[in-house]
Structure 1
Amino acid sequence: MQLDVFNAFRDCALREGVQFYFNGYLSHNVIGAMGDTLRHRLEAQGTKGTVTRRVFSTFVEMAQNILNYGADAAPVAGNGRIGQGAVAIGQLGDHFYIICGNHIEREHVERVREKLDAIRAMSADEIKQAYRQQLRNEEEDHLSKGAGLGFLTVARDSSAPIEYCFVEDEDGQGQVGFYLKATI
């Protein structure tokens, strides 16, 4: 990267309120270190406890999605995984935002879109009810590594509807860029 391009990137990030940005390989250890940094940053600027919890929870869910569901994710020795993606955390005015991006397999796009559109159509009370119902749900989603609570957790902690988009990959590898944004 040229220095002038880096300077433009930095200036854009500052204008958009970006406080933390990471692009690269994620592991449980990297997510833990990023989470510690985020928590200290929020505490240092005097962010309310409930907001800190929501920002932190949303960050962890989104980073875990990259790690567990990204097309570039792979197992590593000792039961671990690594995943490749990007995460940005910023603040504009009184609101924080968390954005993540990674590749997913094209075959999963419609499934993810259906889940997110259904959640986006729910009220805050409906999201909380769906979350509680999913906790009790014994049906297993064969593609989910958890209880299927990730998107519901992000939506529950958000102060506005979650946003998402898919971007076609130009490399023809059968993958699609997936971007998710939550506002706290």
Structure 2
Amino acid sequence: MQAFERQLASAGWRPGLPPAHAGAPARPEPSAARVAQDGFAASAQHPGLLFFHAGPFNADLAQAAAQRLRQRLDELDAPRHAKERLLRVFSALARHLARPGPDAAEPQGRIAVGGLGEHFWVLCSRRLPSDQVARVRARLDTLRLLSADELAVLNPSEHRFDTLSEVAGAPDEPGPEEGDSGWLQVACNSSAPIEYGFSRPLPDGGAQLHVRAWI
């Protein structure tokens, strides 16, 4: 759990999990940046926890995890569209966790899923190499600028980030599109802007990325 503690959060991050009676945050921009404390430890003890995994992550495990979550959701009396959106978000984040780093070593990550009132949440964390930190931050910031109406008409498989940046009025950094459609998938299926934060820089210049989505 230490990788998720004592991180300096961006304006998009809210520390910990709200009490079980609270609802999901509204789409308007959240308050100023603050320090997140013990996020994964809180999620692992939350009464609405549906799924939790910490450790190695690969494509096979991501697929098995999605299947296990689907089985858990079949047991719940929740709207079908919410379950489908949750599975799309979970699958996109699980694929992100399963992407190997530059050293081709098996990636390590954490992912948790839970229910909170009428909403679901997904929380994940993974290490990013130094050459990806700025790009991922820019991508997530761009998605946070798009309104719910703008996201509603987007197709993650058809839109590129240069087009999205024009809509959001944000500068775009050139680079490969691999993985970008996954972030768009998360944003399009969430009921609030993606929340994210980076841990303090690691010795090699990389950082631990922490993401939470509400459905």
Paired with 2:194 and 2:187, the residues of 1 have a C-alpha distance of 6
Higher helix share: 1
The superposition leaves residues 16-71 of structure 1 with CA deviations (integer Å, 9 ceiling, x where unpaired) of 63221101111222111111110011111122221111111101100111112x53
CA contact (8 A) 2:156 2:184 kept: no
* AA aligned opposite 1:61: A
1:112 to 2:133 alignment: no
Match of 1:71 among 101, 110, 134: 101
Name the structure 2 match of 1:79: none
Residues 114 and 33 of structure 1: CA distance in aligned 2, closer, same or farther (over 3 Å): same
SS in 2 for 1:135: coil
Find the counterpart in structure 2 of residue 143 from structure 1: 176
Moved over 6 A (4+): 9-12
Task: Give RMSD over aligned pairs.
Answer: 2.7
Matched residues, number: 165
Instruction: Answer yes or no: is the 8 Å Cα contact 2:156–2:185 preserved in 1.
Output: no
Once the two structures are overlaid, the 10-residue window that deviates more, 152-161 or 10-19, is 10-19
Residue of structure 1 aligned with 2:49, choices 18, 28, 31: 18
Find out whether 1:164 has 2:196 as its counterpart.
Answer: yes
| TM-score of the pair, normalised by structure 2 | 0.67
Q: TM-score, normalised by structure 1?
A: 0.77
What is the deviation of 1:73?
7.1
| 1:50 alignment partner AA | H
Correspondent of 1:132 among 155, 165, 182: 155
Which has the higher relative contact order, 1 or 2, with Cα contacts under 8 A spaced 6 or more apart?
2
Structure 1, unaligned stretches of length 5 or more?
Answer: 1-8, 76-81
Match of 2:16 in 1: none
1:183 maps to 214
Give the match's secondary structure for 2:77: coil
- Structure 2 CA distance for aligned equivalents of residues 34 and 145 of structure 1: 22
- The whole-number CA distance in structure 2 between the counterparts of 1:67 and 1:133 is 19
Shift of 1:110: 1.7
Q: 1:11 to 1:58 in 2, by over 3 A?
A: closer
Secondary structure of 2:199's counterpart equals: strand
| Match among 41, 45, 58 for residue 27 of structure 1 | 58
Residue aligned with 1:168, SS = coil
47 and 122 in structure 1: CA distance in 2 versus 1, 3 angstrom threshold: same
- Aligned mates of 1:53, 1:102 — CA distance in 2: 24
Q: Would you tell me which structure has more strand in proportion to its own residues?
A: 1
Residue 198 of structure 2 aligns to which amino acid in structure 1? F
Letter in 2 for 1:107: D
Structure 2: stretches of 5+ with no match in the other structure: 1-39, 163-173
**For 1:173, what is the secondary structure of its paired residue?**
coil
AA matched with 1:71: G
Looking at structure 2, the residues matched to 10 and 98 of structure 1 have their Cα atoms a distance apart, in angstroms, of 14
1:74 is paired with a residue whose SS is coil
